[in-house]
Structures are given as structure tokens and as C-alpha cells.
Amino acid sequence: MFSFGVLSLSLLSLTAVVRSSIHKPSERKVFADAWAAPGLQPKPQVVLDAYDTGLFMPVGHMSAISSADFTILEHPLFPHHSVRVKKSYFCDGTVPAYTGYIDNEARHLFFYFFESRDDPDKDDVIFWTNGGPGGSSAIGLFMELGPCTVTSTGNTTFNPYSWNAHANIFFIDQPVGVGFSYAEYGESVGDSIEAGRDIAVFSAIFFEHFTKFKGRGYHLAGESYAGRYLPVFATEILKLNPWLLEAGLTPINLESIMIGNGCTHMPSMVSSKYDMQCKNISVPPIQDISTCVRLKQIRDRCKTLMRSCDEEFNVISCKAVFQFCDNSLEDAYLATGYNPYDISKYCEGPYEETLCYPITSNISTFLNRADTREALGVDPAVENYILSNMDVWAAFWGHLEIMFPTQYYIGALLERGIRVLVYVGANDWICNWVGNERMTLDLEWTRQAEFVSQPLREWEVDGAPAGLTRNVGPFTFATIFGAGHMAPYDKPKESLELLKRWIVEQDP
């Protein structure tokens, strides 16, 4: 099943574009593009000379961004990448908003950026992506945790529980082909490593240009398939940091990743789909006894088969195993009519049209309006906003990326002091808390035994139980009672409080 949570300007007048960086292609050729050409070392003195001679001039402050035309951001270390960005007061109304594209030659990723409502000059920066693969991050923005919520095809309302209450935040449609992102000449992205390089470079260009954010805490957040994206994206940023240092630049201060309802380790997740529909866990069993007996036999067989995928990873056999196991458990669930993103509810509307949430249809219609597209600065090359792109899903599936053991990245990040939060709405089925807890308990890292020994304890908001949690050092697992796959949509107050404790108070 495609998991959308896991799974909007004709102002592009390039003749009026404001450029901020190197102006002549001949000047750009002298710089080493260390990231695009692995093995080619950066030339620190050449990069420093670009600063000293005025070939590179950082924008400095967000207020310098034009609201009429795109400002182009470039950097001598990354001659194949640039960022075009414009300013507006779209969506929030109380703080500036910025939209634009991350351009990597023929690939163009659309993003939104909102300054913090609290203290943008001091607050941390959050990067948010939805999953799929192929799901638009406009779902996170306009349905869950963004500054405004789409209430109809033509209206939005202020969201008092937006995560920019405590942070500056990006929402990015990635990879290309998702949302308003697009590519030319048949370019595409089919794995998280390639997608992560664009995010790492974009992050470096952003922090180098907007100097007030330099050294600020940076947090990668997202949900569903982002449980696979984020550990890899974080790794690409850490891989890039030594190159930045060698070039005399400031490394990106990556502090944490925040995985919401992540489908991080598929063997754990597939087997737990039996538990969620046949055991009295978040809700009483929704399947009859005969069906549960049949599903248990499938689950037990699949646990053995899928374990071999972690150990041997034979592409052909693993693809067949995953298709059989996941489809068997999923088909039985979907036949019940329950919402795959919230086991306590039935699906609202045809799944293919609404993904069980009619608000998603409103979001698509709203973003395809001509006035919305103009306000956002959508490139005319984009014919329509794409909520969920099955071609992207198919490309990732073709690489069997969905079975790669991404949890190994999480263990490696923990060993390097990067904090990791795994939070899960307790009513989610497709990327449920049972599978996520198993992944966290089985995760190999230095303090694994200590983490496993900790009992789950309740955490509270305003004196009322909000979920269960377990923590050791940089690693925290938390559930959110009453929430489904899109936890900030179902429990906005509790989700915002969890964010505040994580990035502001750093209280696990």
C-alpha cells in the first residue's frame, strides 16, 4: 500500500531575477564540486578566495529576499546546485513565508519555509518531509503541523498548534515528481541516498547564505516512509560536514532526527500488522477468529522468510517474500473497511480519491488553483500538483529500497551523538507502534541493553496521560494515545508539546 504520510506563479520572470553569488559560468568552472563528484577533494583556498574577492556574497538575512521575484542562491562549492526563493505572507500571516525550488541541473525540488512565531533569530530549524515514497509534504503542511490548515478548496485557517510555534521550519516535496517538484529530460530519483544528497547540499547553501542561522540546531523530521528517508539524509549531512570544514565553511549543526509513525524496518512492521488486527492492543481485535488463525500462520512463516532478507538480501527472493507477506496481511485488513492509518475508524470516502481523509482532496484542489500557484511561485513547467506519485513509488520499489535495513543508520547516528526520537500514534495500523517498538528494542547500539531494560512509562500533557515512552541517553521512543498515522492531525496539542520538549527543553 502506498503510504502518503509516510506518505501551488507566473512570477518566474528570470529577466528580473536577483542573483546572489557567482555570476559568470566561466568563474564557476574553477571550483571543485566535491559533492557531485565523490573523490574529488574541495579546494579550501579557492572557496575562501570566492568570499574574499566578492565572487560569493551571502544574502545574510531573510529580509533581503524579494517578494516580487526570485532570488537565486548559489555557492562556489556546489556549482551544479542553486536555490531560487521568494517571500510572501502566505498561510501563516503572522510571520514571513518563503517558497521556491532547490535546483540540481535538471531536477527541481519545491519547498516552503516559515520563520518561527516565537523567536526566529534564536530558534532551531526543522526540515520536514512526508513519505510514500512519492507523498507530498503539503500533507504535513496543510493537514498536520503547518501554520495553516486547508478547510475547503478555497480557504485556510490559522493553526495555533503549528510546529513553527517553536522553530523555523521547511516543508519539502521530494524526490522529484512529488507535489510541485519536477524534472527535465526524464530525470528521476529512485533511492534515499541520491535524494539525501540534494537535501544535504540545500541545507549547506541555506546556512551559508542566511548567516543568522549558522550553527543553529538542525532537526530532520517526517513520518511514514520518512522513517527510511531521515536516517539516510542525516548520514549524507554528516558525510558532507568534513568537506565543508575543509573548505573553510561552517558545518551543519545536525542535532536530531524525529521519525513519526515510521516504516523504518519492514520485517518488524509487516509482522506487527497481524498483531494490530488480531490482538487486543490499541483496539479489540477487528478480525474474526478464523481469519486470525490464517493470518498467524502467514505471519509466522513470513517472520522467518523476511529475517533472511536482513541477513542475505537476495533481491529477487526478498521482493517475492515482501509482496506475499505484506499483501496477505494487508488484503485481509483492507477488506474490513477500516482506515489503514487509524484502526479505530472506518475509511472516509474512496481510498483512491481521499486516502480515507476528505481533506486531502481539498488540499489538492486548493494547490491546483491558479491564484495559489501564482502566490507560491510554482514553475510553469509543473502542470498539476501531485499529492501522491505512484511512479516514484515504483522507482523505489524497483530498487527494493523498501527492504534495505535502514535501522542500521539509526544505530550509527546514535553512536555519533545524534539524538533520535521515534514517536507513533497508537492507533496507526500501517506503520504501527508495535512494529516501531520492536525495531527500537532490537536496534544494536552501545546502550541497547540499558534501553531494553527500561519499562514503558506514561508521559503527560496538562496532567492527563498522553502516551507511553522509553528513553536512554539520545534515544527516545514515544506513543501518542488517540492518534493515528498523522499524529499531529489527530492530536495537535500533544504533538506540539512533544516537539517542544524535544527541541526546546531537550527533555526526553
Given the residues 21, 103, 485, 495, the one annotated as active site: 485
Which one, of 249, 266, 40, lies nearest residue 133 by Cα? Answer: 266
Amino acid making up residue 73: L
Residues 493, 161 contacting (CB under 8 angstroms): yes
Amino acid making up residue 320: A
Given the residues 8, 203, 224, 268, the one annotated as active site: 224
Q: Dig out the grid coordinates for 206 from the structure.
A: 541555506
The residue to which cell 556546489 is assigned = 78
Known active-site residue 224: yes
Given the residues 137, 428, 490, 495, the one annotated as active site: 428
Known active-site residue 88: no
Q: Dig out the grid coordinates for 460 from the structure.
A: 503527560
Rounded to the nearest 10 degrees, what angle do helices 407-415 and 226-246 cross at?
A: 40
Residues 508, 454 contacting (CB under 8 angstroms): no
* Greatest Cα-to-Cα distance within the chain, rounded to the nearest angstrom: 76
Which one, of 163, 229, 160, lies nearest residue 196 by Cα? Answer: 229
Full DSSP string of 26-77? HHHTTS--TTTSTT----HHHHHHHHHTTS-----SGGGS-SSSPEEE--TT
Known active-site residue 61: no
* DSSP three-state, residue 18: strand
- Residues tagged active-site: 224, 428, 485
